[in-house]
Amino acid sequence: MSRHQADLVLCLKQPGTTVGSLCEKCDGRCPVCDSYVRPTEQVRICDECAFGQDKHRCVICGGKGVSPAYYCFECVRTEKNRDGCPRITTLGSTRMDHYYEKRK
């Protein structure tokens, strides 16, 4: 169930009204635990992640989003869907920003 890269960080900001997308490759996958079993509740991303072109991107890999993302049954049951925006923020330059914020 664990992700292959240890340094992946989820956004976890307060979700807005924008539905997260998944690309063809990640379609049907839960953005929290990578499960393909029983997609249950539509994923909502925060306003920051929904800004501009980003809302059309896959929340998992940043690829071209083609279909809505869903939390799996297990993540809804354990309320992981309430943790906040599940978009991975280690894509691009945001990771360094987070790093410096923590060091201050």
Catalog residues that contact Zn ion under the rule CB under 5 A: 11, 13, 23, 26, 30, 32-33, 35, 46, 49, 58, 60-61, 63, 72, 75, 85, 87
Question: How far, in Å, CA of 54 to CA of 51, rounded?
Answer: 6
Measured from the CB atom, the residue of 56 and 99 that comes closer to Zn ion is: 56
Minimal distance in Å, beta carbon 3 to Zn ion? 12
Q: What angle do CA 68, 42, 11 make, to 5 degrees?
A: 85
Question: How far, in Å, CA of 32 to CA of 1, rounded?
Answer: 10
Minimal distance in Å, beta carbon 104 to Zn ion? 21
Measured from the CB atom, the residue of 13 and 95 that comes closer to Zn ion is: 13
Structure tokens at 104: 């201050």
